Chain A
Amino acid sequence: MAPIKEENRWRRLVEECFRREAGSEAPIPDSAQDLIETGALDSMGWVSFLRALESASGMNDLGALLTNRTPSLQSIFQAFKESQAESSSLQAASCVGDAATGASVILVSSSAATGSRRIPSEEIDQAFGMPPGKLRLRAGIESLAYAAEGENELMLGVRAAQQTLHAAACGAQELDWIIATSETHRGYPSLAARLHSQLLARENCGALDVGGACLGLLNGLAVAQSLIASGQAHTIAVITSDVHSCIFRPGRVAGEFGGLFGDGASAFLLRAKSGSASQAGYALGDFFFGCAGQYAGAIRVADASNGDLDVHFDGEALSRAAITRMEKVILDVELRSGLARSTVQGLATHQPNPRLVTLLAKQLDLAPDKFPSIARTLGNLGSSTCGVALDAILQSARNGKLSQPGPIFLASLGPGLLFGGGWLVFS
């Protein structure tokens, strides 16, 4: 929720929360009165009162702001004023953000986690009853990342998220939203809810699952950007996690389909760009989305009545659609952003298989190494392909210690045929 801004409303809220803690008949203490020393509240009651205020007001860092201050109503009002000043400066920074790039949301840190086992593609060929070398020769896949025993969407997602939070020295309690996406996680509690519990986010941190299969990361980033831009949130984790190896098993699906997929996760920490901080980093640009229904028949996955998976996979049609649509999306990104694709640091795109990525690079007249090599060694990671690719580009930009790394283009597809694109600019 957006924090309360009117001082009178805030004052009423303080009084109401105080009475709930101290009793409905309790007089409102003098502003400067030390509430613990004078016995108006004990230390547990003081914290409980502050937590109630945080929850009711949306000012989630109130307790943290009051450390090393006198436990009094005056301290609370002072913290409120300081928070208002900070919020105004933040809004001012958003207003003066680069209109062309919408540079008010910064990607602070990122991470990826993949299944611990590396399986040569020949083993996968054999497991699915295909001729040895088929995946390598036809799709360009050399190996796949498979989850080890005990690894699942939750575990990989938590690992990626914790690494991301750690890299930014950000506590899970600072998160306002957790946005999760997965094309393999089934059941309830949903992945976002389970991540929320495992990461120990605040209770009033939202948990949202978004769909879109391989397009999930872009959907998640766009939702996060909107929440931050609207003032509803300041800090958001977007997490992808997919474990295909448990679902697309030999005997359940054909090897030409199931053999393409690996297991992985990615996580990104997004924040509103602070007016006071001189933080340099990649800022989210615009996103656009659509659905090209003419390709809807190329891939369909549904539960069959006998418990199996009913997979319709027209590999040839899907490849043609993917290449055509991805090229179109990337050209649209170039057009909308005004950024030449020749200047990019890299392209974080969906990678159905490595052969298609090579072909796409050729069609766009780009060096193949502008596309991080994900599918070749890890397989198609579903919604996490784009995420692991984006993380690889961000890491290489950091490691290259470039003062002004180039922009990053995002493009992905999902069954439907859903498509989406966007970009990030270093600012």
Chain B
Amino acid sequence: MTKLLITEITRMGPAFCVIGLQREKDKIRSVRPVSATANSWLHFPYQRGDVLQCELAPFSGAKPHIEDRVSTSGFEKESTVPEPEVVTYLRKAEIAGSLPELFGCVLHENKSGSGLFAKPPEPKRSVCGAETQNLRLELCANEPRATLALPSGEVLRDLPVVDRDWRDFIDAALAEGRGVNRVARLERFLSSQFHYKVLSCPHHFIRLGLTRPYRDLCWLMLDTLIPLPKQDWLEEF
């Protein structure tokens, strides 16, 4: 059995992608449990910080998704680790302070639109943690996007936010039952309160990921933004 601390739950379309941390001797590394038939999960009833027991089989995932492991049994929840402690472990796993260190390769700018991508097989991994000097979220036509500055001062712009909890939070903020001017209210929150809530949090941390190759390119995404949003923030705007 393998113990996995769940650190990433991302949502793109209807399915979830999950990543956890596994301790191997004195190292902590990221592992992505996938089913035998798909890379993602249509149902994943667990949270970030849950420690799950599972059976994982080695799997030679296509580069750069070297973290893939096939889950051969169901998940069994063992315990829960509080958010600050999750970040303590994330800081001991894959981490980078500058653009080239993130995935061990050159990242390219999309010349005709937005976003950054890596060219397989150049990336050495598909997930990496980072501290940020600054970070902001904005909405672009229903899609949350993040722009952030790494400790090196390098800026990553317009990254798709695929963090399940943040996407759910934004969906909830825009839900029809929340009255009028929902978009303007959410934008106001993201422009003001968000900054203080997230960046002043002592365990603020992010994880960046690469999509699976799409037209031969792997696109950069914001997989995880910690702290995760709190339900009661919705009452503030």
Q: Mark A residues whose CB is within 8 Å of B.
A: 17, 20-21, 43-52, 63-64, 66-69, 71, 158, 162, 165-166, 169-174, 194, 197-200, 203
| Bound: A133/B93 CA distance, A | 56
In this assembly, does B83 line the interface, its C-beta being within 8 Å of a C-beta of chain A?
no
A62 to chain B, nearest CB (A): 8
Additional pairs, 5, CB under 8 Å, beyond known A51-B158, A67-B139: A45-B113, A169-B191, A171-B192, A200-B149, A200-B155
B89 CB to nearest A CB, Å: 28
The interface bits of chain B over 180-202 (1 if a CB of A lies within 8 angstroms of the residue's CB, else 0) are: 00110001101110011000000
A197 touches B155 (CB 8 A): yes
Chain A neighbourhood of B119, CB < 8 A = none
Contact of B149 among A45, A169, A198 (CB under 8 A): A198
Whether the pair B141, A162 counts as a contact (CB closer than 8 A) is: no
Interface of A is mostly: helix
B140 close to chain A: CB less than 8 A:
yes
Q: Is A166 a contact partner of B114 (Cβ separation < 8 A)?
A: no
Complex partner residue of B219 from A44, A52, A64, A174, CB under 8 angstroms: A44
Interface 9-mer from B20-28, B31-39, B55-63, B128-136: B128-136
As a 0/1 sequence over residues 81 to 96 of chain B, the CB contacts with chain A under 8 angstroms (1 = contact) are: 0000000000000000
Interchain CB contact under 8 A, A200 and B115: no
With A48-B112, A203-B157 already in contact, the answer to whether A69 and B134 are too (CB < 8 A) is no
Nearest-neighbour CB distance to chain A for B53, whole angstroms, equals 35
Q: Does B195 contact A173, Cβ atoms closer than 8 Å?
A: no
**A-B residue pairs in contact (CB < 8 Å), sample of 8:** A20-B113, A44-B160, A47-B141, A50-B140, A51-B140, A71-B142, A171-B191, A200-B148
- One of A43, A63, A171 near B190 (C-beta < 8 A): A171
Q: What's the minimum C-beta distance from A333 to chain B, rounded to whole angstroms?
A: 35
A43 touches which of B113, B135, B143, B148 (Cβ 8 Å):
B143
Quick check: B160 and A47 within 8 Å, CB to CB? yes
Chain B 111-124 interface 0/1 with A at a Cβ cutoff of 8 Å (1 = within): 01111000000000
Check A194–B153 contact: CB distance below 8 A.
yes
Among B110, B134, B136, B192, contact of A166 (Cβ-Cβ < 8 Å): B192
Q: Does B69 contact A (CB under 8 A)?
A: no
A166 cross-chain contacts in B, Cβ below 8 A: 192, 195-196
CA distance A46 to B145 in the complex (A): 13
Picked from B133, B145, B148, the residue with its CB within 8 Å of the CB of A47 is: B145
Q: Is the CB of B110 within 8 A of A197?
A: no
Most chain A CB within a 10 A radius of its CB, from B113, B141, B145, B196: B141
Cβ–Cβ contact B187 & A47, under 8 A: no
B195 cross-chain contacts in A, Cβ below 8 A = 162, 166
What residues on A are CB-neighbors of B174 within 8 Å? 67-68
Q: Which residues of A contact B143 (CB under 8 A)?
A: 43, 46-47
| Residues in chain B within 8 A of chain A (CB atoms) | 110, 112-115, 133-136, 138-143, 145, 147-149, 153-155, 157-158, 160, 174, 182-183, 187-188, 190-192, 195-196, 219
Say whether B182 contacts A68, CB under 8 Å.
yes
B153: which A residues are within 8 A, CB to CB? Answer: 194, 197-198
Closest CB in chain A relative to B40 CB, distance in Å: 15
CB pair B196 A51 closer than 8 Å: no
Question: In the complex the two chains form, is B136's CB within 8 Å of A200's CB?
Answer: yes
Question: Given B113, B135, B187, which contacts A200 in the complex, CB threshold below 8 Å?
Answer: B135
Docked-complex contact B187 and A171, CB < 8 angstroms? yes
Per the bound structure, the CA–CA distance linking A178 and B182 in Å amounts to: 29
When distances are taken between beta carbons in the complex, the residues of chain B under 8 Å from A63 are 138-141
Query: How far, in angstroms, from A49 to B114 measured CA to CA in the complex?
Result: 8
* Residue pair B141, A66 in contact (C-beta under 8 Å): yes
Contact residues in A for B142 (Cβ distance below 8 Å): 66-68, 71
B155 to A, closest residue via Cβ = A197
Contact A173 B112, CB 8 Å, known A43-B143, A51-B158, A203-B157: no
Inter-chain contacts of B190 with A (CB < 8 A): 171
Q: Which residues of A contact B133 (CB under 8 A)?
A: 198
Return chain A residues, CB-CB under 8 Å to B113: 20-21, 45, 47-49, 51-52
Residues of A within 8 A of B140 (CB): 47, 50-51, 63-64, 66-67
| Nearest CB in chain A: distance from B116 CB, A | 11
Chain B residue at smallest Cβ distance from A51: B114
Q: In the complex, A203 Cα to B112 Cα: how many Å? A: 14
User: Which listed residue, A67, A169, A173, touches B183 by the CB 8 Å rule?
Assistant: A67
Residues of B near A48 (CB, < 8 A) are 110, 112-115
Nearest CB of chain B from residue A92's CB, rounded to whole Å: 23
